[in-house]
A and B are shown apart, each in its own frame.
Chain A
Amino acid sequence: MTASLDDLIRAAFRDRTTDVPAPVEPDWNTAPRGRPSRRVWVVLPVMAVLAIVVAVAVVGGRDEPQGRPVTPVEPVATPTLAMRVSERKIEIVDVASGRVRGTVRLPERTTLPPSPGPASAAADNRTFFFTVLSASGHSVVARIHVDGQGRPGKASVVVRAPSTPDIGTVVPGLDASSTHQPALWGTADAVAVSPDATRLAMVAGTPRGDAIVLWDLGTGARRLWGTQADVLSLTWTTDGRRLRWASRRSTGTVDPGATRQAPPVDRPVGEGDRTPPALLPDGSHVAYVGGKAVRLMVLSPQGRPVRELGRWTDASGMRSRPTVDASGRHVLFIRNGAWERIDLATSQRSTTALRLTHIYDAHFYAW
């Protein structure tokens, strides 16, 4: 190839469209105003009232689940189930056999995002959280429980991403009233459920910075912390007291019990940063390093190699971000187009029946 792929794409795009003329400007004064017909004027208020009633019942009520007790879950020693989130559906699958145990029915009046949204599994391997869009297009998080056979129960919305003005109270430099912020609601960039599944954390992103949001699922109480970093990953410490986060260039900790937070630690962008960091509870992360000769590594918060978990020749060229389970002990990763698992405590690796069937196959797992 005579040019780098990036340059080639830019040049191809530029040259393909260089002769495209400017469009004719519409006549703004005679343009159709889109005024609804008389009949629509009658129907609209009725629909609006209905929408408000439904919204209060479905979103408002679930978003503030005050007074709803949430029972702490019991962790399992080894996760066996995973939630597979794809563009078309969400399924519960058996990791070892690859068998689909059930397809998740989305909460009413919600849809899947155009690309798979973040998800998180609790340590009991029976409680899962996933992201969907509400009827108004806001990121909301729903929860399901699965039975002993892995069959999913009814999903319900538990929280929704905070609004930009709320995020603006904690993100330095985010002026929520400016025209730089296109959306009135943050997008859910990552979610992480606490080890006992009583609290849920979310990275709510805006173009100017992110908020790390923490909900008590029993009371609905919410707290926000802001950062100007592009937070891509979030996880809990093993004791459930603190949150670890990582962007491409920095990593940090949020301690909900502390009044002042420790400043984030910068780290250089390394080879293991082609996919968002797969954080472990101690702040280190698992990443693929290398091209065809690939190594699966544990890297320190500063990006230094800590431990090699495996090395192989990557014939498939297909990779997906490693997935750490709720305990932080087991990791799913791609090796030559197939998902394998590794127990970080014993370094024991085992194959699974989960396959990355196609290079276009956009899905990931939460377990």
Chain B
Amino acid sequence: MQENAARTRAADTVSEMVSELFHRHARMLVRSAVLLIDDEGAAEEVVQEAFLGLHRRWTKKGPPDSPEAYLRTSVVNGCRSAMRRRRAAVRARVHHRVPEGSAETTAMLRHEQAEVLACLDRLTRRQREVLVLRYFLDLDDHQIAATLRVSRGTVSSTISRALRSLEALMGENR
């Protein structure tokens, strides 16, 4: 009886801690996932699944070394799976949209942003991932390497290659 009560208390504590992490990080993770798969519904599912996975893992084995890093890796992996499923279903390229703005002064910037997002589609999956992790989540090379499970050398060379590719692709469009 006492053992059951202790177990319930422990489960509640885990739920509280995961819930706190959810409120702190979920929206940023959904935004990151949107940049990776360009589908808000799927992005939300991926992030919810990542948190549920963290909750399961925490309950069974205790907290991971870094819950934030665990979530980031889960989201990236979830997005990869979602992309694989989508590629299998529709062999179509994802197109980005940029929210419309009315101010004329921002028109040129909007155009360039749209171009960046369109060119992002033409990068490799890994190049896209490192750019999102670097420029949206502001992760450093170490954190990106840990998220993607690659070496830091790979991260820096992939970022450098991605930026060069992006520049070249944007140049092609001019």
Binding site for B on A (CB under 8 A): 1-3, 5-6, 8-26, 28-29, 31-34, 113-118, 131, 133, 137, 139, 164, 178-184, 187-190, 205-208, 230, 232-233, 274-276, 317-319, 321, 359-360, 362
Binding site for A on B (CB under 8 A): 11, 14-15, 18-19, 22-23, 26-27, 30-32, 34-35, 40, 43-44, 47-48, 51-52, 55-56, 59, 63-70, 73, 96-99, 108-110, 112-114, 116-117, 123-124, 126-127, 131-132, 135-136, 141-143, 145-154, 156-158, 160-161, 163-168, 170
Contact (Cβ within 8 A) A205 B51:
no
22 contacts between A and B (CB under 8 A): A3-B109, A9-B131, A17-B32, A23-B26, A25-B22, A25-B26, A26-B55, A28-B15, A28-B19, A31-B55, A33-B56, A113-B154, A139-B151, A180-B66, A182-B70, A205-B151, A207-B142, A208-B142, A275-B157, A318-B164, A359-B165, A359-B168
CA distance A115 to B32 in the complex (A): 21
Contact (Cβ within 8 A) B153 A359:
no
CA distance A117 to B154 in the complex (A): 8
CA distance A25 to B29 in the complex (A): 13
CA distance A6 to B112 in the complex (A): 12
Which residues of A have CB within 8 Å of B32?
17
| Contacts known (A13-B135, A28-B55, A360-B123); A182 close to B156, Cβ less than 8 A | no
CA distance A164 to B17 in the complex (A): 25
Contact (Cβ within 8 A) A25 B132:
no
Which residues of A have CB within 8 Å of B141?
230
Partner of B65, one of A28, A131, A182, A190: A182
Chain B minimum-CB-distance residue to A209: B142
CA distance A115 to B148 in the complex (A): 9
Contact (Cβ within 8 A) A205 B142:
yes
How many Å from the CB of B82 to the closest CB on chain A?
15
- Say what secondary structure dominates the interface of chain A: loop
**Max count, chain B CB within 10 A of own CB: residue among A11, A115, A164, A208:** A115
Contact (Cβ within 8 A) A182 B116:
no
Contact (Cβ within 8 A) A23 B66:
no
Which residues of B have CB within 8 Å of A180?
65-66
CA distance A11 to B98 in the complex (A): 11
Chain B minimum-CB-distance residue to A11: B113
Which residues of A have CB within 8 Å of B96?
16
Contact (Cβ within 8 A) A20 B152:
no
Which residues of B have CB within 8 Å of A3?
109, 112
CA distance A180 to B63 in the complex (A): 12
Chain B minimum-CB-distance residue to A184: B65
